[in-house]
Structure 1
């Protein structure tokens, strides 16, 4: 991102604020709770890694709007799930995009299109510090990319840029959730610093009584001499004093240290803001199994990230005709799909074909025409045929099978004999 801008950038382009927000220029008033420096906090690192891994590990599928089936063999499937560009696989592309979106509020990828077909050919990832957004005209955004060690700036319209933002109040710029955690992260860091000062203080937690009345200079000189005399001593070494002074160590209130060490408030707030299960950050979780917690995370929390991602991909990677035909979805069926029992019930109830049940449970369909046929049992009858069915049952003397109702067996073709 260039540091110097021409005067014709427009009044709406607050490029200095963008430099501060993206971490290119230091902002001391904000501390270290956003940007890359926020990863120094272990809770933030764990939460961001957990979200980014889940966003990146699931494949992104193209779904046919009419049939609901996955469109196979599309080139976009290769870009999003296999190889994004010549230097980056798709997993690390999605991982890096997610990390930057959480830490800075925005992440950017330039779409390199095929000059002949105008279809996406490569997805070039750029850091927020390498990207400038000209928002002087909100309905015609301009993105400027300046790669590292390059004097060349690439200018692209919004249609050629994938711009992830999980939270936005204007639809143009994103906002990092870490901005809401300033006090919580500060409280956690203060507790850690208190513990560090305690363990580093050593002999300073004590009282040195001297006989007689000492001036301020004399007290200072006596303390310095005492500390100098004890330099180099290890833990447990004896402390030597003469008869003119009395050394008394201060008693430490271990309850305060225990409170600092066991305070889970900040950790729970970080988990809440980033939509991460608290147990992932070593906070006690409800009485649920790990499988239940993981399914709830995928179904309830990850859509907060998946919905803006798939909406942006659909807007930028599809043309207008394709948007009417297809949509993007994150395929998480291997973990949240139908169980074996649910799939079996859906097939027996005529809701799904066997192949559809395999797909909905995260399995590969079978190349067998019979697996694409709806199945049913012979123990049901249509409601509007119920009375006729009961009359036929009585005429047959209680025989339940009749080929007119779709529940006959091979031996039911003959009509009942009459006397």
Structure 2
């Protein structure tokens, strides 16, 4: 099968003109105008993707959401005439979404990069390569820095000006670009969460930097030196040099201090706790988690009890329901309308592995699903075995129906026949 790589356009003429410039998003342009430093905050810290990733809460929130969704298998289903859904293993997009979107990436790597870009920059992009018949043949990850979305001249469709590997840029129709905006959709592109959370991230970064300087300088200035006579400028400078050479740095902060010339050492009542630094840092972890919709306990913040549930299973279920499901649904809908485009086919990220309970919990669930004791079942034996990656068995497709229901159905059939 022959197909083309849209990132290295060759042998085809575009109906649109090529551009020699480098398209960038509006937010990226603002960062470049500001010297590439990012967005200023009241704390004095300039927040961009590089500085934000140095805040552990931000890094963990982004890696947790992107990594968790990327670990789920993305499968293509076919809707049968009776309403049931079955795996469409023969669909040309199944292997792309489930195993290898393009020769350079596994599905896990692609979705992780795609979602990472969306969570950090506000937009995730994937460029669809097709066969000459229009079937999807590859999906290429595209850096958001090289994409500029715009409305078509008639204002009815989106077009994407994308920088190609050969250095030129080309205009693509919306049908050939997977685009997931994380928040703040304005009809063209999403907003970066960093823009919304920059004050919280800036304060977290400032607190982290304060701690670094706190230890680098041998803790806070909690010691005062008293001398019986006034010191000259040279004497004071010499004492400060001795302090810096012998007391600053984590390895020197506990070394003894020698007070010359009759000096006395006084300890001041000051600490990081007294300035509420620790409380502020803990609060900022929770604040960052709120922006990304991640329960604090999932980023290692366990100072408070959670209302999401007592066990890991309940906590994971809450995270899936209130955070991941919204993102997954948006990505699925974008895939359905641009990659699949065939009636009766749709894709889903399989959440069964993520919601998989322990052996005891699964046994109880399957027991209820199979039915019994005059309680109707809603799963067959083979459906249960498939969830456990076990082969089907003979007579395993029959759904359990209570005897009373079977008897009633038989009576109604006989009455109708009479």
Establish whether TM, by shorter chain, passes 0.5.
yes
Say how many residue pairs are matched. Answer: 368
C-alpha displacement of 1:154: 3.2
1:242 paired residue number: 261
Q: 1:231 to 1:367 in 2, by over 3 A?
A: closer
Q: Output the CA distance in 1 between the equivalents of 2:65 and 2:291.
A: 12
Q: Output the CA distance in 2 between the equivalents of 1:230 and 1:36.
A: 34
Q: Output the CA distance in 1 between the equivalents of 2:128 and 2:410.
A: 60
Q: Output the CA distance in 1 between the equivalents of 2:329 and 2:409.
A: 44
C-alpha displacement of 1:291: 2.0
* Runs of at least 5 residues in structure 2 that lack an aligned partner in the other structure: 1-18, 247-251
Q: Do residues 325 (structure 1) and 325 (structure 2) align? A: no
SS in 1 for 2:40: coil
239, 258, 281: which one aligns with 2:299: 281
Higher helix share: 1
1:311 paired residue number: 333
2:401 paired residue number: 376
366, 370, 377: which one aligns with 2:392: 366
SS in 2 for 1:302: helix
Contact kept, 8 Å, 1:33 with 1:181, in 2: the verdict is no
Question: Where do residues 89-104 of structure 1 align in structure 2 (5 Å cutoff)?
Answer: 89-104=106-121
2:64 paired residue number: 50
Taking only aligned residues, the RMSD between alpha carbons, in angstroms, comes to 3.4
Contact kept, 8 Å, 1:334 with 1:362, in 2: the verdict is no
1:354 paired residue number: 381
Q: Do residues 190 (structure 1) and 206 (structure 2) align? A: yes
Q: Output the CA distance in 2 between the equivalents of 1:16 and 1:263.
A: 32
1:6 paired residue number: none
Q: 1:292 to 1:50 in 2, by over 3 A?
A: same
C-alpha displacement of 1:362: 5.4
Contact kept, 8 Å, 1:20 with 1:26, in 2: the verdict is no
Question: Where do residues 2-401 of structure 1 align in structure 2 (5 Å cutoff)?
Answer: 16-20=26-30, 25-29=36-40, 31-65=45-79, 66-115=83-132, 117-135=133-151, 137=153, 138-147=155-164, 150-202=166-218, 204-211=221-228, 218=232, 220-230=233-243, 232-233=245-246, 234=252, 235-243=254-262, 246-253=264-271, 255-256=273-274, 259-260=277-278, 263-284=281-302, 285-286=305-306, 288-319=310-341, 322=342, 324-336=343-355, 339-348=362-371, 349-359=376-386, 361=387, 363-364=389-390, 366=392, 368=394, 370-380=395-405
C-alpha displacement of 1:365: 5.6
C-alpha displacement of 1:56: 0.6
Compute the TM-score of the two structures, normalised by the length of structure 2. Answer: 0.76
SS in 1 for 2:245: coil
C-alpha displacement of 1:80: 1.0
Q: 1:362 to 1:240 in 2, by over 3 A?
A: same
Q: Output the CA distance in 2 between the equivalents of 1:248 and 1:341.
A: 67
Q: Output the CA distance in 1 between the equivalents of 2:47 and 2:403.
A: 65
Q: CA offsets per residue over residues 199-258 of structure 1, 9 Å max, x none?
A: 2334954334444567xxx4x444212223445335423423214x54434333353267
Contact kept, 8 Å, 1:32 with 1:38, in 2: the verdict is no
Contact kept, 8 Å, 1:347 with 1:354, in 2: the verdict is yes
Contact kept, 8 Å, 1:64 with 1:326, in 2: the verdict is yes
Q: Output the CA distance in 2 between the equivalents of 1:129 and 1:146.
A: 9
Contact kept, 8 Å, 1:62 with 1:71, in 2: the verdict is yes
Contact kept, 8 Å, 1:131 with 1:146, in 2: the verdict is yes
Between 1:229-238 and 1:61-70, the stretch displaced more is 229-238
Q: Output the CA distance in 1 between the equivalents of 2:194 and 2:39.
A: 16
C-alpha displacement of 1:18: 4.3
1:417 paired residue number: none
Q: CA offsets per residue over residues 147-192 of structure 1, 9 Å max, x none?
A: 46x3222331111111111223323211222333222222222322
SS in 2 for 1:69: strand
Q: Larger C-alpha radius of gyration, 1 or 2?
A: 1
Q: CA offsets per residue over residues 115-156 of structure 1, 9 Å max, x none?
A: 1x21111111111112222346542322122246x3222331
Q: Output the CA distance in 1 between the equivalents of 2:350 and 2:69.
A: 11
SS in 1 for 2:214: helix
Q: 1:21 to 1:59 in 2, by over 3 A?
A: farther
Q: Output the CA distance in 1 between the equivalents of 2:285 and 2:224.
A: 37
* Runs of at least 5 residues in structure 1 that lack an aligned partner in the other structure: 1-8, 389-402, 406-419
Q: Output the CA distance in 2 between the equivalents of 1:111 and 1:24.
A: 33
C-alpha displacement of 1:21: 6.0
